[in-house]
Amino acid sequence: MAEKILIVDDDLDTLRLVGLMLQRQGYQISAATNGQQGLEKAFDEDPDLILLDVMMPDMDGYEVTRRLRANPSTAETPILMFTAKAQLDDKVIGFEAGVNDYLTKPTHPSELQARVKTLLARAGEKKEKTVEAEGEENRGYVIGILGARGGLGITTLAANLGAALVNRTKSDVIVAEMLPGHGALGLELGVDVTKGLVDLLSLGKAGELTRDKVREALRNHGSGIKLLLSSDRPRDMQLINQIAHYEALIAGLAGLARFVILDLGVGIQPFAPKVLPRCDDVLILLEGVPNTIIHTRALIEDVASLGVNKRNINVVLNNRVRSDTQLPSSQVQAKLEHEIIGTLTPAPELFVQATRLQNPAVLCQPESLTARQVGKLVDYIMEREALPR
C-alpha cells in the first residue's frame, strides 16, 4: 500500500501543485486547508508523514505540531514543516515544537522529494526496530515439526498438537504450513482460503511482510487454532527460495501467539538455516522402520549442524499403521541413539472420523488413547516453555 502524506496548508496552489507532484511519486495524498482540519485528519487517517505550513489563519503550524506531539497516535509521525518563514528563529521554534525537518518555500521539487523520502525511510526503520523489539519481548514459543521423509503425519501432528495446546492453555496457538504448493491442512480442516503463506511470500520485499500482514493472513478454525495455510498448487513451490521473507515471517508469527507450530515438511528445506535456529523445540517425526531410522539419525545431525542444540531436538515415534514390521519404541531409540519423547500408536478409524468431521482427532474423541498421547507431548512442551530461554 502506498504511503500516505497529509498536506496542511491554507494556500490552495501549494496544496494542488505539491499534492500532484507527490502523487506522481506514488504517494497517497490527503489535504487540509487549516490547522484544525489538519489535526482532525491526522488523528482519523494516521498518515505516514505530515507536510505542514506555519502561517495559517486559525492555528499556526507550531501549535498544530505541539498538539500532534501531545497525542499518542501522532507523537511519532514525521512532520516536515514547509513554509516561507526562513529566519533562524522560526526554524528553532519549529524544531522545539517537535518537527523532524524544516524546508523553506520556494524550493526545487527534487529537494522536497528527497526530504520526504528520507523522513519516510527513517520512520520505517524506527518502526521496524520497534516491532522487532516488541516481538522479541513478547515472543511466543516456536515449535518446528519435520520428518526425514514424507507420509509420516507431520501436518496431522501439527494440527492435533495445536488443538490440544488451545484446549489445555486457552491461549492463542498458530499452526503454520511452511511449504508453498504443498498445502494439506486446509483440506483436512475444511478451510477454503488457503493462500495465506503464498500471499506473504509473494510480497515484493521482505520488509513489507509486517506483523499486521501476517495477522491478516491467518484463518480461524472452530478448534480454536489460528491457521497460516499454504496453497495446493505445485507451481507455488518456487517461492520456497524467498529466504528473507521466511525470516520476517517467523518473527511476525512469534509475536502473535503464545505457541507457534510450524509444519516444516520433509528434510532440510532452503529456509531451514534461518528458521530452525529460531525454534525453541524441533520435533522430528519418524516411524519404527529401519530405513526411516537411518534417515532420521542423519536428519538430527543435519539440524544440529545449523546451530540447533541437540537438547532442543526431540523425536516422536508415529506408528500410523498396524504392522509386524514396526519396531517397538525401545528398539527404535537404541538404533536412533536419541531419546524418544513420545509415541503415537495406530488409530486409523479415529483419523478417518476426524477427516470426515474436519476437526483434529484429539477433539473428536477427547478420551481416546491418541488424545492422551498427544496430551503427554503437551505436558512436555509446557514444561519446556516454563524454562528460561
What pLDDT, in 10s, does the model give residues 129-184?
544 444 455 689 999 999 998 888 999 999 999 999 999 999 999 999 999 999 98
Where does the pLDDT of residue 220 fall: very low under 50, low under 70, confident under 90, or very high at 90 and above? very high
CA dihedral of residues 281, 282, 285, 286 (deg, nearest 10): -110
Residues 229 and 155 in one domain: yes
Pairing, β 173-177 against β 226-228: parallel
Q: Give the mean pLDDT of the chain.
A: 89
Q: Across residues 56-84, what is the average pLDDT?
A: 87
Say what the pLDDT of residue 133 is: 47
Residues 80 and 156 in one domain: no
Q: What is the pLDDT of residues 151-160, one digit of tens each?
A: 889 999 999 9
- Do 212 and 348 have their domain in common? yes
**How confident is the model at residue 194, as a pLDDT?**
72
Considering the domain architecture, whether residues 348 and 224 belong to the same structural domain is answered as yes
Q: Which domain covers residue 121, as residue numbers?
A: 4-134
Q: What is the pLDDT of residue 366?
A: 95
Same domain, 54 and 194: no
Last residue of one domain, picked from the residues 74, 102, 134: 134
Contact predicate 193/229, CB 8 Å: yes
How much is the average pLDDT of 251-274?
A: 94
With a pLDDT cut of 90, the percent of the chain lying above it is 55
Percent of the chain with pLDDT over 70: 95
**What is the domain-level CATH number for residue 157?**
3.40.50.300
Residues 22, 37 within the same domain:
yes
Cβ atoms 162, 196 nearer than 8 A: no
Residue where a domain stops, chosen among 134, 157, 178: 134
Number of domains forming the structure of the chain: 2
Same domain, 320 and 297: yes
Q: Are residues 204 and 308 in the same domain?
A: yes
Question: Rounded to whole angstroms, what are the CA distances from 45 to 15, 32, 50, 140, 326?
Answer: 18, 12, 11, 31, 62
Say if residue 174 is in the same domain as residue 245: yes
Tell me, what's the pLDDT at 135? 47
72 and 191 in a single domain? The answer is no
Domain match, 240 and 182 both? yes
What is the tens place of the pLDDT at every residue in 193-204?
678 999 999 998
The CATH number of whichever domain residue 54 belongs to comes to 3.40.50.2300
Q: Helical H runs in 175-228? A: 185-189, 196-201, 211-217
pTM of the model: 0.67
Q: Quick one: 109 and 231 in the same domain?
A: no
- Where is the domain boundary, 134, 165, 199? 134
- In tens, the pLDDT along 16-55 reads 888 898 888 888 899 999 999 999 998 888 889 999 888 8
- Is the per-residue pLDDT at 385 higher than 90? yes
The amino acid at residue 150 is: G
